Amino acid sequence: MSTLERDPGDGMVQVLDEEGGVVGDVPDLSEEEFVAMYRHMKLARHFDERAVSLQRQGRMGTYPPLSGQEGAQVGSALALAEDDWMIPSYREHGAALVRGLPLKQTLLYWMGDERGSLIPEDANVFTPAVPIASQVPHATGMAWADKLKNDGDTDRAFICYFGDGATSEGDFHEGLNFAGVFDTPNVFFCNNNQWAISVPRERQTASETLAQKAVAYGFEGVQIDGMDPLAVYKATTEALEKAKNPGEGERRPTLIEAVQYRFGAHTTADDPSVYREDEEVEKWKAKDPIPRLERFLRNQGILDDDRVAAVEESVREEVADAIDAAESTVRPDPSSMFEHVFAEQTPEIRRQAEEFARLREEYGDDAFVEE
């Protein structure tokens, strides 16, 4: 029985336990691929820590931290083939990095620079979606369009990321229902990090799992340990393969529920201490995906102190270089905020742009800057 054929109520799929011990089938990865997974996770964590620090110093706008979710993001993104597409929410900085989006671009985006949305053509990453679940129908539509263009066959899959809170939105239902009916090559990846801002998982649904919601749409759902990067990689690989090459009687789509936890705030505008206890946070930090993978790789003789130190040094340098590059970028003219909302400006956007230009001329730019 494949990972995807498990009943969602049978418990989470795991490969590594919380101590890094092997409890499932380890994916067939080379030593270099294991180290690359580890480095991507370390890079995502260090980038996250620096980004939060930049925001606290007033050097960047509101930012959504990802710490704790590196295993889910990196493990799933590494499973993607070169031609596959990734449709993110607003927190998938680690996954986008794996796909080739430069850290500089992510920084520019959260600094309020529209040029941060300029994604390399070969990355196959859609722009971030801040409205909750709005990207789900987009992902379904992209997958359906690709299937139609290829006369019902396709060699590409489309993975869509969203949080547990998104499963309460109509866009989630519409996107998954459409995917089931039209059998689109989608993997719907739910980052269940236990909190939708301040709303806990148990207030989202009375369902035992989020994965079992797939049953209503006619395709498979699987619940995995989202803080186990090898379990994530294994389940995502199988789901992507089924999306592109389903077996007889199989539907292409899959819903993956990756159970995990965000260690920090929902965004830097949030204070999680108001709605959750420190004891809860510490319990989940014991499941941290990075030391879990590191212990496994040390036990396999793949990592040692010298190799870990080299990874950490290279990660610090890469993040520092990205910050320097972003902060040395000449800031855009404020009027550019109106230029990329639509391919052609609508009358309303044009009216707003004209009003903004009038106010700048009348009062000067200093009037818009808080002291």
* Catalytically active residues, by annotation: 262, 266, 275
Which sign, positive or negative, has the C-alpha torsion 251, 211, 101, 337?
positive
Residues 6+ apart with CB under 8 A from 81: 156, 157, 240
Sign of the torsion angle spanned by Cα atoms 349, 354, 359, 365: positive
Q: What is the rounded distance in angstroms from the CA atom of residue 233 to the CA atom of residue 75?
A: 5
CB 240 within 8 A of CB 80: yes
Task: Provide CB contacts within 8 A for 191, sequence distance 6+.
Answer: 69, 72, 73, 89, 91, 161, 162, 163, 164, 226, 258, 260
Bridge partners (DSSP) listed for residue 196:
199
Q: Where are the alpha helices (DSSP H) in 67-110?
A: 70-77, 93-99, 103-110
Distances (CA, A) of 76 to 13, 89, 197, 226, 246: 14, 14, 23, 10, 19
Determine the Cα–Cα distance for residues 69 and 319; give it in Å rounded to an integer: 18
Per the CB < 8 A criterion, the answer to whether 100 and 122 are in contact is: yes
Rounded Cα gap, residues 47 and 93, in angstroms = 9
Q: At what angle do helices 70-77 and 31-56 cross, to 10 degrees?
A: 130
| Amino acid type, 348 | E
C-alpha R_g of the chain: 21
Integer angstrom CA distances of residue 4 from 12, 72, 78, 241, 256: 11, 17, 18, 11, 9
Helices and strands (H and E) in the chain: how many:
12, 7
